[in-house]
């Protein structure tokens, strides 16, 4: 942990586990380190980063949390929730990390390793998912290594993550907005707010728009192989990404079958999603057929990532 904190302080890049996915950390206050981070990932610099801190007080030093944001922070931090709020007047996060926006995305992760690193370092850490831009997010240290080996300084391996999809992002605007469904289900957020989250405007989804919250960039999560959603049968040459106890026509002729959760548990399915997509992608089938997955609870985030994986590949 001391070595990781020293690496960050020297402007280095450290991959570390969070409860959602592995992150690639850099000193949020060091523009040169942030520039290296964008370069290592091959990420466009107009796509801003999440600043990770170890507590609410640290968050309030860099962002202005209004009553909704405070209520959500109390209810769900540390945990898989990111809040987008106005930058505080003396915000220490580099402008490059927020892509010149007047808002900043903040998160207090619950993973003990992430927490220990933030505490050892003592400053905010920007951390996108530790994958090459355009690949699915890493849920093990081996995924990080296969994408970023040689491009970064250190990987802290603490096994597979627990949640498996990225944090839910809420824009704390006049009307709180669901910018990205994720590891914290919408209904839990709406219960604390006492009202519905509003949807982002449709143009935010376009590839050219200044991203309100990319992750919203349409093909953000795409594997190389074509992904076919809501499949009720498997075509010759296809691999099957199954869900639940039922089988589909042609399943026994599939080139490979992986079941996200044989018992139909959405939390288990979220934890397996990116790893199974990577594994099936690596076998280069004609396509990955995905069985329907219910959209309640964590299913909203799972279906969001699957739709992005399926965009533009036909």
Which of 166, 281, 300, 304 touches ligand TXA by CB under 6 A?
166
The reply to whether 107 sits near ligand TXA by the rule CB under 6 A is yes
Give me the least distance between CB of 147 and ligand TXA, in Å please: 13
The interface partner of residue 161, options being ligand TXA, Mg ion, none and the CB cut-off 5 to 8 Å by kind, is none
Q: How far apart are CA 78 and CA 299, in angstroms?
A: 22
Q: Which of residues 234-293 bind ligand TXA (CB under 6 A)?
A: none
Give me the least distance between CB of 266 and Mg ion, in Å please: 21
CA distances (Å), origin 118, targets 2, 9, 110, 298: 11, 12, 11, 27
Segments of 77-119 assigned E as strands: 81-86, 103-107
Give me the least distance between CB of 314 and ligand TXA, in Å please: 25
Q: Is residue 104 within 8 Å of residue 87, measured between CB atoms?
A: yes
Q: Which of residues 167-186 bind ligand TXA (CB under 6 A)?
A: 167, 169, 179
Q: Are strands 50-52 and 22-27 parallel, antiparallel or unpaired?
A: unpaired
Under the rule (CB under 5 A), what is the footprint of Mg ion? 129
Q: Residue 95 or 249: which CB sits closer to ligand TXA? A: 95
The reply to whether 139 sits near ligand TXA by the rule CB under 6 A is no
Angle (CA) 62-68-70 rounded to 5° is: 50
The full length of the chain comes to 314
Q: Which of 62, 66, 43 minimizes the C-alpha distance to 53?
A: 62
Q: Are strands 125-126 and 22-27 parallel, antiparallel or unpaired?
A: antiparallel
Q: Which of 219, 22, 10 minimizes the C-alpha distance to 123?
A: 10
Q: Residue 129 or 168: which CB sits closer to Mg ion? A: 129
Task: Point out which span in 124-132, 153-161, 202-210, 254-262 binds ligand TXA (CB under 6 A).
Answer: 124-132
The interface partner of residue 285, options being Mg ion, ligand TXA, none and the CB cut-off 5 to 8 Å by kind, is none
Q: Which of 172, 143, 167, 214 minimizes the C-alpha distance to 70?
A: 172
The interface partner of residue 17, options being Mg ion, ligand TXA, none and the CB cut-off 5 to 8 Å by kind, is none
Residue closest to Mg ion (Cβ): 129
Place of tokens 């860099």: 62
Q: Is residue 13 within 8 Å of residue 153, measured between CB atoms?
A: yes
Task: Point out which span in 47-55, 59-67, 267-275, 292-300 binds ligand TXA (CB under 6 A).
Answer: 47-55
Which of 98, 110, 140, 225 touches ligand TXA by CB under 6 A?
98
Phi, psi of 18 (to 5 degrees): -120, 175
- What are the residues binding ligand TXA (CB under 6 A)? 18, 20-21, 23, 47-50, 82, 84, 98, 101, 103-105, 107, 109, 127-129, 166-167, 169, 179, 211-215
């Amino acid at each position: 942990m001391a070595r990781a904190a020293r690496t960050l302080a020297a402007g280095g890049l450290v991959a570390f586990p969070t409860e959602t996915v592995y992150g690639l950390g850099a000193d949020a206050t060091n523009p040169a380190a942030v520039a290296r981070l964008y370069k290592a990932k091959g990420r466009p610099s107009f796509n801003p980063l999440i600043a990770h801190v170890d507590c609410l007080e640290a968050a309030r030093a860099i962002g202005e949390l209004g009553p909704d944001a405070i209520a959500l922070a109390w209810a769900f931090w540390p945990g898989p929730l990111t809040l987008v709020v106005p930058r505080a007047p003396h915000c220490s996060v580099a402008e490059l990390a927020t892509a010149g926006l007047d808002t900043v995305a903040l998160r207090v992760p619950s993973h003990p390793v992430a927490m220990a690193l933030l505490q050892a370092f003592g400053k905010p850490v920007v951390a996108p998912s530790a994958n090459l831009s355009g690949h699915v997010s890493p849920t093990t240290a081996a995924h990080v290594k296969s994408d970023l080996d040689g491009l970064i300084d250190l990987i802290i391996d603490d096994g597979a993550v627990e949640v498996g999809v990225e944090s839910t992002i809420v824009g704390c605007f006049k009307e709180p907005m669901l910018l990205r469904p994720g590891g914290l289900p919408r209904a839990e957020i709406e219960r604390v707010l006492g009202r519905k989250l509003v949807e982002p405007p449709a143009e935010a989804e376009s590839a050219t728009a200044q991203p309100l919250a990319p992750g919203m960039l349409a093909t953000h999560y795409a594997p190389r192989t074509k992904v076919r959603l809501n499949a009720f049968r498997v075509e010759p040459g296809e691999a099957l990404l199954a869900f639940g106890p039922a089988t589909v026509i042609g399943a026994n002729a599939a080139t490979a079958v992986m079941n996200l959760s044989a018992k139909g548990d959405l939390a288990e399915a979220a934890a397996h999603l990116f790893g199974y997509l990577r594994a099936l992608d690596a076998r280069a089938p004609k396509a990955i057929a995905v069985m329907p997955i219910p959209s309640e609870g964590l299913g909203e985030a799972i279906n969001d990532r699957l739709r992005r994986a399926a965009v533009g590949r036909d």
